[in-house]
Structure 1
Amino acid sequence: MSDFLIDEELLAAIDMGSNSFHLAIARVDHGEVKKVASMSEKVQLAAGLDENKNLTEAAQQRGLACLARFVGRLGSVQPNRMRIVATNALRQAKNGHEFIQKAAEILPKPIEIIAGREEARLIYLGVSHTMVNSGRRLVIDIGGGSTELIIGEEFEPIHTESLQMGCVAFTKAYFEDGEISPKAFERAVVSARKELSGLANTYKAAGWDTVVGSSGTIKACRQITVNMGWGDDQENLTREGLEKLKEKLLKYRHVSEMEFEGLKEDRRAVLPAGVAILYAVFDVLGLETLVYSDGALREGVMYDLLGRFQHEDIRDRSVHALMGRYNADPKQAERVVNTAQDLFNSVAADLDLSSEDSDLLRRAAYLHEIGLAISHSGYHRHGAYLLQHSDIAGFSQIDQNHLSHLVAHHRRKLRSDARVDVMKVGGSKLVYLCLLLRLAVLLNHSRSDQMLPAIELTVDNEQQWHLSVSGDAKQWPLLVADLHDEQVQFKHWDVELNIQSEQFID
């Protein structure tokens, strides 16, 4: 990946939401993302989750057809300058991997399933880049499957939450046949209040200066109230206007009867559920006025991607924050990182490893000892668990899964069945990265800045690796013994590790 983007180069983001899929293409203009093209389609992936949380074939086909149309617009964008993220519906889908495998045949980049709080962070980033007002803001985004609420200042989120309530999910639960009744509406509001109760005190205590809403549900509610003359002088959504919208909504018995100026047809079916959720948010948090922002998840994804090119990668900040949280030894981490990078550079071309693989290895090397904060016994497993299940800003679930496997296999025995698991998750490249990290950790077992012997790693092919240790091996008896033991472990993963030195030659 390049280290920078020049003006006029294009970025692209696909946001696979639970209700809608969005594509945005933008150019970089003096460090800002300027949108030049966009597409949006109502796919309603969340509506395709059956009672067992599996995506139906029909829902999968809707999504794949939409992605195929999006790809037709991406010809001018290089793959390393685009990101494709999926949210709550694929987080929930038990068979989501099936859809991802099918989509991989269409898309130029893998899909990243992002956690709820990561979705919230990216939404805040997208909103904050479109707002001119300063101070602390509360951002609300009601999606198809989840609702994100974030408090932040400038471009930094302070509190991020993702709640299991969305306009598509609530439509299935309370308005499935399109019927509208005060009883169904109240049940939806009560359910939303319960979801909000866990964060209400924390958020109120933190406080905010302005309230900002984003995405389709809030856009529709704000537009309807403005068209009806229920907004304020600045055409913002107010508590009074939302109350009038609710009253008028409940006069209809079915969504097909609704008559609201500015309501798009594809928003009609999910409007009652969306209004119920927004009504509960206003009620629980005591809101009076909400400003609408066009910035949302896809804009946040592009700004986050831009930051990666400009050496402002949130993932590196997250890695160092984790090291601090779990008191990882920074000097030892740096030793392992440097050795791992040297080994990587020696074999990257022969093993077809990319700069993204290098970044993954480097971050795993920094984090390989975080499990020591829990226990020395089996700390590699503890570290792997933390990486798999923590909310880590900037990382997708796939990223965290890859990091978890690297840390899990950096020491102790390698089982043949574990190699099968790693292959399923990340293919042969992840296998090689695991082995490179093992060597880097092994070569730094002394935890000393004392000069190591000169090490050179080469590969004849993917299964034949050669490690050359310069100098008299008698000077490093423990190192040689460890390398000899490591040969056995490499064989379990179908790699022959040949070690060469003056006193130790295979």
Structure 2
Amino acid sequence: MDLAASVDIGSHSFHLIVVQVENGTIRAIDKIRDPVSLAAGLDENRYLSKESISRAVNSLRKFGERIRSIPPHRVRAVGTNTLRMAKNREEFIKCAEEALGHQIDVISGHEEARLIYLGVAHSMEDDGQKRLVVDIGGGSTELILGEGFLPRRMESLYIGCVSLSKTFFSEGIIAASRLRDAEIMALQELEPIANLFKKQGWQRTIGSSGTILAIQDIVIAEGWSKSGISASSLKKLRKYLLSAGSIERLSLKGIDYDRKQVLPGGFAILSAIFESLSIENMEVSSGALREGVIYDLLGRLYQKDIREKTVRELMNRFQVDEAQAERVQAVALSFYEKVKKDWKIEGDFQRRILLWASLLHEIGLFVSYSQYHKHGQYLLNHLDMPGFSLRDQQCLSFLVRSHRRKFPLAELQLLRSEDRETMRKLGVLLRLAVLINRVRNDDETPQIDIKVSSNLIKLTFPPGWLKDHPLTEADLATEAQYLVNAGFFLQYS
């Protein structure tokens, strides 16, 4: 039985879904939700408290037990807004990965939006209409316009049910002034995008995830709606919240204790979205981020990796010389295959990140030739790159930064500690591949043997080749000096 799993380390709740994969379709066989409320543990200086880290690690240890028998390449765990914000993120991730037994990818707001849309799109029949998908999380809110399986516009706002409840309802009091202040804050976040969304238009409005599902359950259970969420049912819920006056006095059908604690903040955001975008009715989807992660993971497993498309689109957008990029890629991958065992850098991630860096190493030329490796680093750190985690982008941008001139040891230290040695070695392979292809001519690329042992690199060229190519020989002499500073010794003959 082919199983796959995804873990959503959300700002309010952690979710695990285990699915059975059969003929390209999935069937959920297990789901676990744990209301960890990670965002509540984030202090004013954006540090996660020890208590919140401990609570999260204990939850992930339980998740880890459930998915222990599933092969690692069929599991993906993602972290969202709270981990994007936390300054002690690396400390958390180190403990969390040990507890879960799997790597955790922190994803950008746009990538979170893309995956949410993918989860929603797969959970609903495609009728060809334009959709607005809304997802209110614990620390952020995503809005996506799309058609079919393709998101067309994605926005991630820095407001969530936990953060807004913490700001305006921390004492549990629900007063009209506080509720309106919370709505105004949400309206301010929505203001820059509202007209752009309305101008593009949509036919169906779809909500997903915990807050919206909970509000739908409430309005249906109370008899204020027959299905979905209407503007009129929200008005009735608002009236009820104000009449109750406090979170403790809420007595609503279809809502559990932990969701009740963040309901006022979640309601304020949804109310603001209805007001700002002039929404009258919202359908609710069972699909969400965790399902989107599953479908994205299956795409990677079955040769439909969105990251490949992203790289090719960036090459086209920034006018990368495709022929030169592929020359460099061919040499870099040839070197990789020859040294991967001796250097202990075997793995799908290592091979792919070198491949992508080879294809994108000249992306900075779009800005300027001068310091173009630094321009490339900046672009790859800040572009929205569908399919890539923040870690993926950091490693990719480092390799592009490191492919020429002085080896960037300071930037190397900014990577996760477990990535530094691998990226140092991959950076050397990319540098050598670029150097060999400086002439930008297929006929001038020789067959080169490469051998490594620890920090020693030996290149062997065809007899007489270096004598006939004095520029390359001079470049190798310069490169040998650069690599000494990176802790490598280059020999060539």
Normalising by structure 1, what TM-score? 0.95
CA distance in 2, matches of 1:161, 1:452: 45
Given residue 83 of structure 2, which amino acid in structure 1 is its aligned partner? Answer: L
2:109 is aligned, of 90, 103, 116, to 116
Given residue 467 of structure 1, which amino acid in structure 2 is its aligned partner? Answer: L
What does 1:205-354 align with in structure 2 at a 5 Å threshold? 205-232=199-226, 235-353=227-345, 354=347
Please, which runs of 5 or more residues in structure 1 have no aligned partner? 1-7, 501-506
Given residue 233 of structure 2, which amino acid in structure 1 is its aligned partner? Answer: G
CA drift at 1:416: 5.1
The aligned counterpart of 1:3 is none
CA distance in 2, matches of 1:324, 1:314: 16
CA drift at 1:462: 2.0
More helix by share: 2
CA distance in 2, matches of 1:418, 1:192: 37
CA drift at 1:415: 5.3
What does 1:332-411 align with in structure 2 at a 5 Å threshold? 332-353=324-345, 354-411=347-404
Runs of 4+ in 1 over 6 A off after TM superposition: none
Query: Any conservation in 2 of the 1:54–1:93 contact (CA below 8 Å)?
Result: yes
Gap change, CA 1:421 and 1:161, over 3 Å in 2: closer
SS at 2:451 equivalent: strand
Deviation digits for residues 421-450 of structure 1 (CA, Å, limit 9, x no counterpart): 557371311111000000110110001121
Given residue 277 of structure 2, which amino acid in structure 1 is its aligned partner? Answer: L
1:37 is aligned, of 16, 20, 30, to 30
Gap change, CA 1:307 and 1:224, over 3 Å in 2: same
SS at 1:76 equivalent: coil
Given residue 205 of structure 1, which amino acid in structure 2 is its aligned partner? Answer: K
Gap change, CA 1:413 and 1:208, over 3 Å in 2: same
CA drift at 1:108: 2.4
SS at 1:442 equivalent: helix
Deviation digits for residues 234-256 of structure 1 (CA, Å, limit 9, x no counterpart): x1211111111111111012111
Query: Any conservation in 1 of the 2:142–2:155 contact (CA below 8 Å)?
Result: yes
2:49 is aligned, of 38, 56, 74, to 56
Query: Any conservation in 1 of the 2:63–2:100 contact (CA below 8 Å)?
Result: no
The aligned counterpart of 1:154 is 148
Moved more, 365-374 or 344-353: 344-353
Normalising by structure 2, what TM-score? 0.97
CA drift at 1:360: 0.4
Please, which runs of 5 or more residues in structure 2 have no aligned partner? none
CA distance in 2, matches of 1:283, 1:154: 26
CA distance in 2, matches of 1:241, 1:425: 51
CA distance in 2, matches of 1:311, 1:11: 16
- Corresponding position: 1:173 with 2:167: yes
CA distance in 1, matches of 2:145, 2:174: 33
SS at 1:28 equivalent: strand
SS at 2:425 equivalent: helix
CA distance in 1, matches of 2:402, 2:370: 14
CA drift at 1:133: 3.6
Gap change, CA 1:187 and 1:426, over 3 Å in 2: same
CA drift at 1:202: 1.0
CA drift at 1:200: 0.7
CA distance in 2, matches of 1:438, 1:173: 49
The aligned counterpart of 1:457 is 450
SS at 1:70 equivalent: helix
SS at 1:177 equivalent: coil
Given residue 262 of structure 2, which amino acid in structure 1 is its aligned partner? Answer: V
SS at 1:357 equivalent: helix
Given residue 447 of structure 1, which amino acid in structure 2 is its aligned partner? Answer: R
SS at 1:328 equivalent: coil
Gap change, CA 1:415 and 1:278, over 3 Å in 2: closer
Percent identity of equivalent pairs: 42
Number of equivalenced pairs: 490
CA distance in 2, matches of 1:335, 1:465: 21
SS at 1:55 equivalent: coil
Query: Any conservation in 2 of the 1:422–1:431 contact (CA below 8 Å)?
Result: no
1:204 is aligned, of 182, 187, 198, to 198
SS at 1:221 equivalent: helix
Deviation digits for residues 182-211 of structure 1 (CA, Å, limit 9, x no counterpart): 110000111111111111111111111111
Given residue 251 of structure 1, which amino acid in structure 2 is its aligned partner? Answer: S
The aligned counterpart of 2:69 is 76
The aligned counterpart of 1:477 is 470
What value does the CA root-mean-square deviation take over the aligned residues? 1.3
CA distance in 2, matches of 1:74, 1:98: 23
CA drift at 1:76: 2.0
CA distance in 2, matches of 1:416, 1:162: 33
